[in-house]
A and B are shown apart, each in its own frame.
Chain A
Amino acid sequence: MFAKHAGRSRRVRLLEKMPAFAELLAQLSFLAFTPSAVGVLITAGLLVVFLDWRISVFALACQTIFAGLLYSQVLPPQIAGVKVVVGLLICLQMLVTARQMGGNKPPAALPEGLRSAQKQSEGSEPSGSSLRSIVPTSLPFRIVAALMVAVIAWQGSLLPELALPEVSPNVALATIGLMALGLLGLGLTEEPLKAGMCLITVLTGFELYYAAVEPALAVIALLAAMDFAVALGACYLAVIRTLRAPDRKAAK
């Protein structure tokens, strides 16, 4: 009994030693400027370039964390933390959806980016064919398009006509870059899960700026609810899209 009590008190001490989110953000504040702005651009670029669901979800999760660091420039750290938690929950939602979709269908019937999902759910290692699924056939075009848009966003953020004086130059770069790359991604896909990720990217870019000009708690809560709703809609459509008539007959 004494040993059990000692173990519990050790756990409590460990929890007490764990930094609060605000402290964590303070420790990572050295990343909250240019590295985060570049980070969100790279992750948004990865979302545009790669179709594979694992790379996309990982990129979205990283983007959420980098965006959280940028949020800490315009919002109190606790609220920035809540934004990160909301973003990561959306990533989790998309991860579960992608895995479920992969398990439901034969690879040939899946969208290109999800073909490796079933192999993983079956526990096999990525093979040559799944590597082809990770690297899309239009890779060179996607890389060039993403680079062009990223450069245009970077140059645009430096133009006085497009200046966003309410936020720092890093946040302005992230805002314009996320929105531009998100729109590019939307233009390149009809797959709902991917489109949902691109929509979340566009919304993250907008919210980075809007949080600076309208930091009201109610608005931030509504925006978070809106992000959840968009992710829910996209995930639902992604699951429905994989259902085809033969499956329904088989299910019956």
Chain B
Amino acid sequence: MIVPLLMLAGPVVMSAPIYFLRRWTWARAIVAAATAAIFGLLALQIPLDQVAVFAGRDIKFESAWVVLGRQFVFADSDRPALAFIYLASMFFFAGAGATKAPRSLLTVGPVVLSLLAATIFVKPFLFAALFLEMIAALAALILADDHHPATRGALRLLVFVTLGVPFILLAGWQLEGVATSPDDPNLLIRATILLDIGLLILLAIVPFHSWIPTVADEASPFAAAFVFTVVQAAVIFFMLKFFSQYDWLRHNTAEFALLRLGGAAMVIAGGAFAFAQRRFGRLMGYAVIADIGAAMLALGLNTAEGLQAALAILAVRGIGLAVWGLGLSWLNADLPERNTSDFAALAGQAWQKPFAAVAVVLGGLSLAGFPLTAGFAARWALYRQLAVDDLTLALILLFASGSVALAYVRGLAALFRRVERVDNSLDEGPQEGQVAMVFLAIGIGAILLVGLFPQVLLPAVTRAAEAFGSLAQ
């Protein structure tokens, strides 16, 4: 059995029955979440290049698949990244049953998972950029639907990724030249410049960040949270592979300085714009920008602890975003202006939908790294390292986090503002629906649990950091 083929084809095949179950939202969510869970467990446990007994027969699980002269290889070091992508997606797919997420999330989501796996398997891994482009195109199907017909954010994502991919491919071509002419420094310089430009665009570093707040504002909150978590994680893993694979890149201190510069720009932009927002959607977009910046600052430290902090930020971002997306989807579900996330339009909603309101605010505060939330531990680790290395950067990050947190406090005040209503809806109790309340309570509990006991994430983060071997040393 060829393991990469199984991992690539399996979710695509499963998207067909999920599509045909389109009338039964819960059945689709369960099948999609089960698919992601099974492949997540396979990613962690499947033996590679060994003979194992499966269904009473001896089967060899091959780790490589050759197609038209190119290889898809499942290496042991890929397990944490794959498991993260599958298991994070599992939570999103399960949550899609409890919210009014776009129908295409559950149909297209598994195909996106296959493509994300392809970005990890493909050799030379530079061709992963092509799969990232396909993911951006499929993300358009998830981000816009008939209830969210605004297309600007999804189109910008598609355009920016399309513009970034050629730089990565050309960098790969230059690197092939380095293999044949190792004494030519120009090839390395050109490869580095092309790679930097490509990653600058793919990572949505300022000024290529504009699609993030637009998507957060226009798209379904849950679909946007999926894209920000899973797709952006794949881009970060892609960048980390560059650093762990190429010694010359890892030993180039200017690259880490650039990472810090890019991270600082993201943190400043996110923090500065977040405070001025009056819509939960755009506020989340700028909070994500600041969070990506924080992860880049951590990577820019060029230490094993920095790498761990970056991976922890990546892991907890998913928790915060999923809970935020779930909450906001319920908050604006019954409003006349259904897709609004405006503070004024959502005024007083906390009295009708308390679980959803708390989920939105806690999810946002977690992304800001607020104490006692899931995002705090990773940010605290980063503050401590940054304070030793560069106090200014630590202060900038602190101010940006404060700006995001204050904006959420303003949002919280709006949600709890008493509004005169003609109906007696306040007396009817919480209106989220029982299943949604269970999911929202689980999400809120997860944020608080990880906030109080961050050590539960530590083994997974350490293992993920070890997968990027040389970079973690």
Contact A214 B144 (CB under 8 A): no
Contact A237 B144 (CB under 8 A): yes
B130 within 8 A of A: yes
Complexed CA–CA distance, A24 and B177 (Å): 35
B138 within 8 A of A: yes
Which residues of B come within 8 Å of A, CB atoms? 67-70, 127, 130-131, 133-134, 136-141, 144-147, 149-152, 154-155, 158-159, 162-163, 165-166, 169-170, 173
Complexed CA–CA distance, A190 and B153 (Å): 11
Q: A192-B151, A203-B162, A234-B158 given; name 6 further pairs at CB < 8 Å.
A: A214-B173, A222-B131, A225-B130, A226-B134, A230-B158, A233-B137
Complexed CA–CA distance, A3 and B373 (Å): 83
A237's closest neighbor in chain B, by CB? Answer: B151
A218 within 8 A of B: yes
Across the interface, which residues of B come within 8 angstroms of A240, CB to CB? Answer: 144-146, 149, 151
From B130, B137, B155, B159, A222 is in contact (CB under 8 Å) with: B130
Complexed CA–CA distance, A190 and B218 (Å): 15
Across the interface, which residues of A come within 8 angstroms of B154, CB to CB? Answer: 233, 237
A217 within 8 A of B: yes
Across the interface, which residues of A come within 8 angstroms of B159, CB to CB? Answer: 186, 195, 199
Contact A214 B169 (CB under 8 A): yes
A210 and B130 in contact, given A217-B69, A233-B137 (Cβ under 8 angstroms): no
Complexed CA–CA distance, A244 and B339 (Å): 13
Across the interface, which residues of B come within 8 angstroms of A241, CB to CB? Answer: 144, 149-151
Across the interface, which residues of A come within 8 angstroms of B140, CB to CB? Answer: 233-234, 236-237
Contact B133 A206 (CB under 8 A): no
Across the interface, which residues of A come within 8 angstroms of B170, CB to CB? Answer: 210
- Show 22 residue pairs from A and B whose CB-CB distance is below 8 angstroms, ordered by the A residue: A186-B159, A199-B162, A202-B162, A202-B163, A203-B162, A206-B166, A210-B170, A210-B173, A216-B70, A217-B69, A219-B130, A221-B68, A223-B130, A226-B137, A232-B137, A233-B136, A234-B158, A236-B140, A237-B140, A237-B151, A240-B149, A248-B147
Complexed CA–CA distance, A135 and B69 (Å): 48
Across the interface, which residues of B come within 8 angstroms of A216, CB to CB? Answer: 68-70
Complexed CA–CA distance, A206 and B165 (Å): 10
Which residues of A come within 8 Å of B, CB atoms? 186, 190, 192, 195, 199, 202-203, 206, 210, 213-214, 216-219, 221-223, 225-226, 229-230, 232-234, 236-238, 240-244, 248
Complexed CA–CA distance, A234 and B155 (Å): 7
B157's closest neighbor in chain A, by CB? Answer: A233
A235's closest neighbor in chain B, by CB? Answer: B140
Complexed CA–CA distance, A164 and B308 (Å): 42
Q: How far is the CB of B321 from chain A (nearest CB, A)?
A: 22
Q: How far is the CB of A201 from chain B (nearest CB, A)?
A: 11
B68's closest neighbor in chain A, by CB? Answer: A218
Contact A218 B141 (CB under 8 A): no
Complexed CA–CA distance, A118 and B204 (Å): 38
A192 and B155 in contact, given A214-B169, A218-B70 (Cβ under 8 angstroms): yes
Contact A222 B127 (CB under 8 A): yes
Across the interface, which residues of B come within 8 angstroms of A203, CB to CB? Answer: 162
Contact A229 B166 (CB under 8 A): no
Complexed CA–CA distance, A24 and B138 (Å): 36
Across the interface, which residues of A come within 8 angstroms of B144, CB to CB? Answer: 236-237, 240-241
| List of 10 A-B pairs having minimum Cβ-Cβ separation, nearest first | A233-B137, A218-B68, A229-B137, A233-B140, A218-B70, A237-B151, A229-B134, A206-B166, A240-B144, A222-B130
B165's closest neighbor in chain A, by CB? Answer: A226
Contact A229 B151 (CB under 8 A): no
Contact A213 B127 (CB under 8 A): no
From B67, B146, B165, A243 is in contact (CB under 8 Å) with: B146
Q: How far is the CB of A171 from chain B (nearest CB, A)?
A: 16
A200's closest neighbor in chain B, by CB? Answer: B162
Contact B162 A229 (CB under 8 A): no
Complexed CA–CA distance, A225 and B132 (Å): 12
Across the interface, which residues of B come within 8 angstroms of A242, CB to CB? Answer: 149
Complexed CA–CA distance, A226 and B134 (Å): 6
From A192, A213, A233, B141 is in contact (CB under 8 Å) with: A233
Contact B68 A210 (CB under 8 A): no
Q: How far is the CB of A113 from chain B (nearest CB, A)?
A: 15
Q: How far is the CB of B73 from chain A (nearest CB, A)?
A: 14
Across the interface, which residues of B come within 8 angstroms of A217, CB to CB? Answer: 68-69
Complexed CA–CA distance, A8 and B307 (Å): 70
Complexed CA–CA distance, A89 and B120 (Å): 30
Across the interface, which residues of A come within 8 angstroms of B68, CB to CB? Answer: 216-218, 221
Across the interface, which residues of B come within 8 angstroms of A225, CB to CB? Answer: 130, 134
